[in-house]
Structure 1
Amino acid sequence: MNNNDRTNEIASKHLGKKSSGSELYDPSLLVAVPRILNREQYSISNEKIPFAGYDVWHAYEFSCLTENGVPVTRVLKLKYNCNNEFLIESKSLKLYLNSFNMSKFGRNVDEALNICKKIIQKDLSEKLVTDVEVNFLNKKIKQISIFADFIDLMDYVDEDSILIESFKESPEYLKCIQTNEQKEHFLMFDSLRSNCRVTHQPDFGKAFIYYKSNKLIDEQSLVMYLTSFRSEYHFHEECCEMIFKRIADILDNDDELLVCALYTRRGGIDICPARWRVNTNYEQILSLLEMDTYASYGVSF
C-alpha cells in the first residue's frame, strides 16, 4: 500500500460514508492523519521542514446548550503549528463539533463557552499531539481584511496565447528569469480548485503568494501551474505545501516566500493553511493567526 492509499484509508473513517455522528459529546469521532504520508512524495522531511506555518480553521456552526437548555452558537477559531506530525480530518472535526449540539455545559452562556473551549482544546491537542489554540468569535470581534495589496494573477494572462492541457499537478509549467533587481511580488489566484481525497468533491479557494527575489516568476506560467491542481485529490494543507515546495524549488534559498490558501467553507468549516520561509517578513499574515481576530480576504463572517 502506497502513501496515498494509506492516507485515504485513514481519512475514509467518515469521508464518503453516510454518518449522522452523535448529538452528544463524542471525542472518539476525531481522526488524525499523518502529514508525512504526503510530504514524502515532495521530498519534505518532518525532521527538516523547509517552512514555518500554521493551519487556521473557522467552524461557523458551533452550538451547544447551557444546563437550562439555552442554545449557544458561535464561530469557533482554532490554530495549530504545521511542524506537528498530524493534521485533523475535516469531516471528523465537523462530526465532533456537531456532537456538542445537544450536550449541556454550564449555568450560563459564558460558562458554557469556557467549558467547551477547554474541552475542545484538550481533545484536539491530545489527538494531534501538539498545542492547539481555540477561541470563540462573535459579531463584535475585530474583523480585518487581509491581502488587499495582492494583484490578481489573471490580469497577466494572455487568453489568446495561453494553453493549459495538464490538470494534474504540473511543476514543469513554472518558469522564471533572473533579473538584476530584488523585488517584492504580491500575487493572488482566485480559481484554485482541487478535490477531496476520498469523496472527490471539489474544493475551491484563493491562493496568495508573496515572494521577494532577484528572480521573476512568469505570472502566466504560475496560472498554468495553479490551474493544474484541478484534478488533484489532496487535503487543503497538502495543496498549500505542494505549491510552496514547487515555488521554493525555483527560487534561491535565501529568497522570501509565503503561500497562503483561503478555502471556501464547506460543511460549515473553512481551512486556511499558511506556509512561509522563516526569513520572510510579511506582517499581514499575523492577523490571520491572531486568535481574537477574524481575518479574511475582503469579507466578514
Structure 2
Amino acid sequence: MSTDTPRLHGAESSPLGRPAAYRDTYAPDLLFPIERQLKRDELGLKADDLPFIGEDLWNAYELSWLDLRGKPVVALAQFRVPANSPRLIESKSLKLYLNAYNQQRCADVGTVQAMIACDLVAAAGAAVAVRITPLTQRPQRSSSYPQGFCLDQLELDIDTYEPAPDLLHAHGSEVSETLYSHLLKSNCLVTGQPDWGMLVVRYTGPAMDRAGLLRYLVSFRTHNEFHEQCVERVFCDILARCRPRELAVWARYTRRGGLDINPFRTSHAGLQADEGMEVRQ
C-alpha cells in the first residue's frame, strides 16, 4: 500500500460526490471557488508569469427565476472567467447556485445579471463577464466544426491512457495549421465521472507529428483532472515538447448539470478560438 500523501487539488470539501440539498432562493454561499495555483504548481507555472492568456467560457442552459408577479422567467446564460483569475469555480456548486434562483423574485434581467456577476467576481477573484438572454428574446445557438484537420481519421494503434507528453514531436519547416479531435475524454478530479469533449490545437511552428498528437490526446482517457486543468496541461506539454512560435488550445466539453465548460488558452491575443458549439453540446 502506498504511503504517499495525496496531492491537494482544492476540491476536497466541495459538493462534488456528496448529497446536496437543493435550495430555491438566492444563496451565493453555495459557490465553491478552487485555487488554480494548486494544480498549476504541478506544471511548474507561476501566477505572475503564465505562458498563456485566455478564459473559461461557461454556457448555462438551466437558469430560471420569478418576476415580481411570481411568473417564471427562463433564460440562457454565458459566463467568461479570465484564465488569470486566482480561482476557478467548481461546476456542481455553480449548478446549485443557479438553481437557487428558481423561487427568487427579481425585478428584471438586469437585476439577475448584476447579482450573478457580483457573486462570480467574488468567487473567482477577477472580473467575470455575464450575459443572460431570456428565451422570449429567441436566442440562437449553432454548432460548427473547426476549420482544420480532424485527427480522428488517422488509422493507428493506441495503448497509452495516462498523459504521456513524450508522445509529442514536431520537426521540419514552420507551418500554420489547426488540428482537432473529438476523442478527448478525461475524468472528474473528485468523482471520476467521465468528461467528453473536442480539443483544438492551432499553432505556428515546426510541423507537429499528427499521430503522436492524437495518441497524446487519447492518453487523457483515464486521467482525473478538471476541464480547465486538462487544457492547461495540453498547452504546456505542447509548448515544451514542440516549441511552436504561436499556440492556442481550446476544448468544447459536453454539458453536465445544465452547464458546459470551454477553456481557451493562447500564447498571443491575436490567436482566437473559433466561434460555435461542438455538435454534442
Name 1:297's counterpart in structure 2.
278
Using the alignment, how far apart are the partners of 2:264 and 2:64 within structure 1?
27
Confirm or deny: 8 A CA contact 2:168 2:216 kept in the other structure: yes
Confirm or deny: 8 A CA contact 1:146 1:284 kept in the other structure: no
Name 2:209's counterpart in structure 1.
218
> Aligned pair in 2 of structure 1 residues 228, 284: CA closer, same or farther (>3 Å)?
closer
Using the alignment, how far apart are the partners of 1:148 and 1:76 within structure 2?
23
Confirm or deny: 8 A CA contact 1:148 1:298 kept in the other structure: no
Using the alignment, how far apart are the partners of 1:118 and 1:99 within structure 2?
16
Note the C-alpha offset of 1:45: 1.1
Is 2:225 aligned against 1:234? Answer: yes
Note the C-alpha offset of 1:16: 0.4
Note the C-alpha offset of 1:239: 0.3
2:184 to 181, 188, 192: 192
Structure 1 residue matching 2:199: 3-state secondary structure: strand
Using the alignment, how far apart are the partners of 2:273 and 2:191 within structure 1?
34
Using the alignment, how far apart are the partners of 2:167 and 2:194 within structure 1?
22
Q: Which letter does structure 2 place at the counterpart of 1:17?
A: R
Using the alignment, how far apart are the partners of 2:218 and 2:79 within structure 1?
29
Matching of residues 70-149 of structure 1 within 5 Å? 70-106=71-107, 111=108, 113-137=109-133, 138=135, 140-141=138-139, 143=141, 147-149=145-147
Note the C-alpha offset of 1:101: 0.5
Name 2:170's counterpart in structure 1.
176
Using the alignment, how far apart are the partners of 2:273 and 2:50 within structure 1?
23
Which has the larger helix fraction? 1
| Number of residue pairs the alignment of both structures matches | 276
> Aligned pair in 2 of structure 1 residues 273, 24: CA closer, same or farther (>3 Å)?
same
Confirm or deny: 8 A CA contact 2:14 2:90 kept in the other structure: no
Structure 2 residue matching 1:7: 3-state secondary structure: coil
Q: Please, which runs of 5 or more residues in structure 1 have no aligned partner? A: 288-294
1:53-103 CA-to-partner distances (Å, cap 9, x unmatched) read: 001000100011112111101111000210111000000000000000011
Q: Which letter does structure 2 place at the counterpart of 1:131?
A: A
Confirm or deny: 8 A CA contact 1:258 1:276 kept in the other structure: yes
Confirm or deny: 8 A CA contact 1:256 1:281 kept in the other structure: no
Name 1:69's counterpart in structure 2.
70
Name 2:160's counterpart in structure 1.
166
1:196-251 CA-to-partner distances (Å, cap 9, x unmatched) read: 111110000000110111x1111111111111101111110000000000001123
Name 2:56's counterpart in structure 1.
55
Using the alignment, how far apart are the partners of 2:175 and 2:35 within structure 1?
37
Using the alignment, how far apart are the partners of 1:147 and 1:158 within structure 2?
21
Using the alignment, how far apart are the partners of 2:11 and 2:117 within structure 1?
26
Name 1:258's counterpart in structure 2.
248
Is 2:236 aligned against 1:245? Answer: yes
Confirm or deny: 8 A CA contact 1:21 1:96 kept in the other structure: no
Note the C-alpha offset of 1:6: 4.2
> Aligned pair in 2 of structure 1 residues 252, 5: CA closer, same or farther (>3 Å)?
closer
TM-score by length of 1: 0.86
Using the alignment, how far apart are the partners of 1:49 and 1:169 within structure 2?
21
> Aligned pair in 2 of structure 1 residues 225, 125: CA closer, same or farther (>3 Å)?
same
Note the C-alpha offset of 1:141: 3.7
> Aligned pair in 2 of structure 1 residues 298, 204: CA closer, same or farther (>3 Å)?
closer
